[in-house]
Structure 1
């Protein structure tokens, strides 16, 4: 960073006003209304670790059952329930949420920003995640625990074999996935547009690069799982036929949708773990990361390739040999990218002066464990070998070596590394080292013998086994190792929590690190950076301060400023030059009832109570309206109207505005969802034993009218977004134009919605008759949902016009609406192609 005396510093009064505007709520209000990224990130991480220890306890119970052959400590039913909830907890309630919480806490700090771009939305995502966990674990209270496995393969999870417990699982999963997708949107925007001035893309920390790639993977992979969950719920409760062979469905479709999510999720967990190692090893080796460009390339390549490897998990489902050969080659090739990162870490260790701190020990433990897991990964990537071990404990061993080695050990390294930053205190090095050795030895004692039990024939997903297999001793060793591993993790928690009171004061930078988070106080102040840092290299704290008058002027403008509104610089994507100022949201209660309304809707659907569902809709709508009104009030107050320092506007059109990014990301999510539905229909058409010849929706005029209405909505919104000045004043002509644009857009959107809904009865289809009809129902529903979202953003533009006297805010909101309506038009085009074009073309 740089400091300068060329500009006078802020007065004491200005500093006090600045700190007050960023101050966190006090007392009970902090828990319910705080939206600051450190508060939200801390909640994510604490909640995730609570679920982690719950899931770990379930694993210990299963290990006790498997310690000896033919034991009856647990019944088969109880074992299935624990097995399902253990996997669900670790995959959906711990791993991804914890990493998203770590990103929510750290990304603004490592990027030199004051907060996440949509702070209230960030809080909403957390509440959705917490309520998802509560819904899932409420299954124990009502005696309906999911038991179909954390992968929920059809038909075992379908209406014929699974009871209401499966609906609890699906609704909980849906809320958790909504939270993950929302967090991904936050990460993309903060990395691309809210970096410290001077932090061009080639200067970003590896952690930021990785979370950008991970966020893109979440949107492209988690949306298909959300769609798949909805398809399964519809099959279970309204009689659609997506997974029923007799009516044109295919159970294999669920596996495709699940593993389109599931295999990228492995890298969603591994890549952030690897990024933590890329941050920890250079600091504790006192050497810059060797091969930075190659590591960035490896992360990007891994993210891209991971999206095309899902069949890696489906080798034994009877797919054609050519398909298996392709995915075998791809699965083996991705290991090269991981190898590049391993070589870079080893080269950094070799070139530096490593210190055997606790974070370094966990990093070395990760290297050893992950490389071992990678070797077995190459083995199971081979289709012939995988066919022999696919349903054995060999895969369980590989799975845990990759995930615990690739995610948990790095997380523990990161916790010890950043704990001084989080809390301002140093954890005990002695206890930390003991906890590492317990965890490391216990892990390998637990999972290494499973390679042998698998090779010797022990199947996975069984609650007991025959003594004749000869694997009793190995299973006993695994059970002992599980308790040693658990002891190490408990000691880790005790060490970290004990440091909160008794730890030595750390100071801002106890490790003498290189990235921006260590330039702040420990723990960081509410604003992170009273004076925005500027960057001249990849290691800002190790590099010389930049000599750039423009950046220097920006730093002075944002020095303890502005003082009446929360704001942080919004920078250009490639070079991170100062562009505009992004207004940051303050405390709010409304994200909680909005998320609570979604949970209430899930409860109403589970109870099959239309009154509860109706009440939930009212709660959601009321919370969203209040949320939007608060947003507009905040933007209409004080300095929110004026450019910061007279030169950085707080409201600007296009990519210079956070709202534009939000609308663009929402459009992308909608398009990914409808493409997933279209893929599902195409898969069924190609593979289903029965499919109607030349099936089409048969409503060409309604479809064409819908598309035309959407074009009108787009045109009206774009026209309105260009009326009036961008300066902070108003003209009567622009006000009239904006109201006309909003009215025209709302009318066109309403017509599009009505025509969309009318297509279903006009088509004369029956969603229970055939998978084609079921697919059309999903397409129509997706288009209707997208249209409702477009209308919602149009109403927000109307609120902005009625709330503000100036013209710039409604202009921006209309432009955002136009972006989203463009996405809705793409949804319409894909839906039309899937319902009318592909059924005729693919014959």
Structure 2
């Protein structure tokens, strides 16, 4: 029963109006919509670029585009679709939907969510500014070395690398948000076995992003250092290897295919049951298939490198792995077919796109098994057969599900119904146009047409199939145009949508269309995997207590429940962030730094760094202002602040540690790869044992100090104030330790006498020293946040929690130091 005093004001969840809200809004629905709209605009631009490419290839010896223009458009088309459309759109969909599906009022870190969007937008604008300055990248969206190196690529490649890195930083940040949201903000009772498939999938994909996308960021840094500083990571004459770029790129690139496919498949796992009015068949097997696919995708990158001269045993292993992953995908396909068979399908627009997905992806999967064979791949590699396979998998596995999702959830997004006639017309144009475009490419590839060429001779005999592909591309584009117009018209003038127009099964269909500012005035309690199709079971005592505690409460600030990871038992309360300008400030500072490096006006980077640091400090100050004493008292007995794994920051800190350690491990393994494969690797070591040990001791001291400070408080009494001196002492000690570590790293740097432009070993050592210094700076930043918390708060628990997060960051510094020491001193001695 709801409390009679429940008076929650929905206005506390509203964004600021008009122009102010553009820069201050942090609500997940607003940020998610921005992601999706921005990504879809990039999709339309990328599609226009594809039409220009197909027009050039419509006939032999065509001069519609020059070779240079073709390469530029080809590069930007691939970059746009892979980096600016696919992943950002899916993360935007997750940002919007996940809180609704798991029964939360927002994402766990709304301001960080907004910061990630600003980084993504800045990266996209930077990439397309290349057209304005006449320096459009032309090395392909894969940027293979040495064509992307300093010898062959101009400043346009630097624009590509910086823009790409900003977009990837945003993707990794969004992944951290998703992990914490799914694990800790689910509604009471939504245990793991009751989670929607979309939540399971986004959790798996978020982990995959951290493991796979960080190596791409590292690869971009290595290439940019080669281009600007003169390091030798990819220079074979100095111990480097161009093949390192391919390994790092495809360690990202092949998992990215599944980062796109798995959410697309999850969309289908929601659309088909709803529009067939049947529970998803074999739910446990589908979840296992999702997790298995995510794990296996990390071991398939050599699938793209069969013709690079790898040993036969390696080819055999990756052939088997590439074929085996199709089994996990097959489980999901059979589950969908069984659901259709058991249900009563309605051939709505979302269902039509879902069926098109199954047909198209199965066809792409068949050719995928073909190219998984090293023998067959060696015959069709770099031919249009691979182009056809790639688009069947990507468009079949991603675009059709996105179109299904838009029509399926458009009433929820906008409160308006999209026209079904326009939807069906657009579907058939898109479906037929797609197959007319890409099926003939299989034939063109088998008949010998190479990909990545801007023209071809008549004697090749592929003019007819190329003309057919071009016609299909324009039919496809017409379908997309009608689809887009239908959605825009529905948004502005479509008929009002009921709360649940499709008879959905998951929690988002229990909210208004569009959802209210708070999503859930009263937090739901979940007792079934399909809460909308089940009357449910009685609440437990703790579930009822949380349900009543959040029944239109609190009234003056934003909050959502925290629950346990496995069983979603009520544990505490998360105070959600208010709207503010601060997330946009450090993002702007980062963009200024990037622009200064591109223009080589280096003094401006100091201004950008100042803006970035000021933004983060102001952000931290605002956090502590929000977490004031009067609004951190327990809500209904559920604490707003808790220590250990019950603290939301604890999970975020460990995700940040994972990102840092994956980055360090990527550099270490890259050095090991060069050492093993280089014919001119040095036996030299850093040979600074005292200074190196000193860095480790300083990192350990920083960890010990912050850990000691975090332990000093009385968590049962949220107003306790007896540990102020201890916290400040711990912060001061860890700050001193950090400064000492930086000084020692500087002494090693200058004392080693290593020129990073001479040999790849020197480049690796200097980069590892730099990454250690960067890790120390991150840990110092966390320590500064603890100082701000201590100075702003009169009680103990909040500063102790921030010190706890800082101790985790110091532990990451210590682990990163150990890995770096192994690479700079141990491996050169033991690996020949």
TM-based fold match above 0.5: yes
SS at match of 1:425: coil
Match of 1:648 among 638, 643, 651: 638
Q: Are the aligned partners of 2:720 and 2:797 in contact in 1 as well (CA < 8 Å)? A: no
Matched, 1:8 2:3: yes
Q: Once the 2 structures are TM-superposed, how far is the Cα of residue 590 of structure 1 from its aligned partner?
A: 1.1
Q: Once the 2 structures are TM-superposed, how far is the Cα of residue 537 of structure 1 from its aligned partner?
A: 1.3
Matched, 1:480 2:475: no
Matched, 1:507 2:498: yes
Aligned partner of 2:593 in structure 1 is 601
Match of 1:784 among 768, 773, 783: 773
Match of 1:633 among 618, 622, 625: 625
Matched, 1:824 2:787: no
Aligned partner of 2:655 in structure 1 is 665
Matched, 1:251 2:246: no
Aligned partner of 2:282 in structure 1 is 291
Aligned partner of 1:612 in structure 2 is 604
Q: Are the aligned partners of 1:728 and 1:806 in contact in 2 as well (CA < 8 Å)? A: no
Question: Take 2:169 and 2:373, find their aligned partners in 1: how far apart are those partners?
Answer: 34
Q: Once the 2 structures are TM-superposed, how far is the Cα of residue 820 of structure 1 from its aligned partner?
A: 1.1
Aligned partner of 2:91 in structure 1 is 100
Matched, 1:271 2:275: no
Aligned partner of 2:726 in structure 1 is 737
Question: Take 1:492 and 1:716, find their aligned partners in 2: how far apart are those partners?
Answer: 59
Matched, 1:583 2:575: yes
Aligned partner of 2:328 in structure 1 is 337
**TM-score relative to the length of structure 1:** 0.98
Question: Take 1:499 and 1:732, find their aligned partners in 2: how far apart are those partners?
Answer: 56
Match of 2:747 among 748, 753, 758: 758
Question: Take 1:728 and 1:428, find their aligned partners in 2: how far apart are those partners?
Answer: 57
Aligned partner of 1:236 in structure 2 is 227
Q: Are the aligned partners of 1:729 and 1:805 in contact in 2 as well (CA < 8 Å)? A: no
Matches within 5 A, 1:96-175: 96-175=87-166
Question: Take 2:630 and 2:456, find their aligned partners in 1: how far apart are those partners?
Answer: 71
Q: Once the 2 structures are TM-superposed, how far is the Cα of residue 20 of structure 1 from its aligned partner?
A: 2.3
Q: Once the 2 structures are TM-superposed, how far is the Cα of residue 505 of structure 1 from its aligned partner?
A: 1.3
Q: Are the aligned partners of 1:565 and 1:638 in contact in 2 as well (CA < 8 Å)? A: no
**TM-score relative to the length of structure 2:** 0.99
Provide the aligned C-alpha RMSD in A: 0.9
Q: Once the 2 structures are TM-superposed, how far is the Cα of residue 736 of structure 1 from its aligned partner?
A: 0.9
Q: Once the 2 structures are TM-superposed, how far is the Cα of residue 729 of structure 1 from its aligned partner?
A: 4.8
Q: Once the 2 structures are TM-superposed, how far is the Cα of residue 434 of structure 1 from its aligned partner?
A: 0.4
Aligned partner of 1:699 in structure 2 is 688
Question: Take 1:546 and 1:618, find their aligned partners in 2: how far apart are those partners?
Answer: 55
Question: Take 2:120 and 2:717, find their aligned partners in 1: how far apart are those partners?
Answer: 39
Matched, 1:687 2:677: yes
Question: Take 2:686 and 2:251, find their aligned partners in 1: how far apart are those partners?
Answer: 28
Q: 1:95 to 1:729 in 2, by over 3 A?
A: closer
Q: Greater CA deviation, 695-704 or 183-192?
A: 695-704
Aligned partner of 2:565 in structure 1 is 573
Aligned partner of 2:708 in structure 1 is 719
Question: Take 1:419 and 1:31, find their aligned partners in 2: how far apart are those partners?
Answer: 22
> What do the CA deviations read for 1:485-515 (whole angstroms, capped 9, x no partner)?
0000111101111111322211111111110
Q: Once the 2 structures are TM-superposed, how far is the Cα of residue 8 of structure 1 from its aligned partner?
A: 3.0
Match of 1:312 among 303, 320, 338: 303
> What do the CA deviations read for 1:454-507 (whole angstroms, capped 9, x no partner)?
000000000000100101000000000000000001111011111113222111
Question: Take 1:400 and 1:637, find their aligned partners in 2: how far apart are those partners?
Answer: 55
Question: Take 2:743 and 2:783, find their aligned partners in 1: how far apart are those partners?
Answer: 17
Question: Take 2:593 and 2:147, find their aligned partners in 1: how far apart are those partners?
Answer: 26
Aligned partner of 1:493 in structure 2 is 484
SS at match of 2:825: helix
SS at match of 1:504: coil
Matched, 1:810 2:799: yes
Matched, 1:301 2:292: yes
Aligned partner of 2:75 in structure 1 is 84
Q: Once the 2 structures are TM-superposed, how far is the Cα of residue 545 of structure 1 from its aligned partner?
A: 2.6
Q: Once the 2 structures are TM-superposed, how far is the Cα of residue 522 of structure 1 from its aligned partner?
A: 0.4
> What do the CA deviations read for 1:334-381 (whole angstroms, capped 9, x no partner)?
000000000000000000000000000000000000000000000000
Aligned partner of 1:200 in structure 2 is 191
Q: Greater CA deviation, 805-814 or 21-30?
A: 21-30
Matched, 1:45 2:45: no
Question: Take 1:139 and 1:798, find their aligned partners in 2: how far apart are those partners?
Answer: 42
Q: Greater CA deviation, 365-374 or 494-503?
A: 494-503
Q: Once the 2 structures are TM-superposed, how far is the Cα of residue 733 of structure 1 from its aligned partner?
A: 4.0
Give unpaired runs (5+ residues) of structure 2: none
Q: Once the 2 structures are TM-superposed, how far is the Cα of residue 549 of structure 1 from its aligned partner?
A: 2.5
Give unpaired runs (5+ residues) of structure 1: none
SS at match of 2:503: coil
Q: Are the aligned partners of 1:133 and 1:172 in contact in 2 as well (CA < 8 Å)? A: yes
Match of 1:407 among 378, 398, 411: 398
> What do the CA deviations read for 1:281-333 (whole angstroms, capped 9, x no partner)?
00000000000000000000000000010000000100000000000000000
SS at match of 2:572: strand
Q: 1:361 to 1:476 in 2, by over 3 A?
A: same
Q: Are the aligned partners of 2:721 and 2:796 in contact in 1 as well (CA < 8 Å)? A: no
> What do the CA deviations read for 1:90-110 (whole angstroms, capped 9, x no partner)?
000000000000000000000
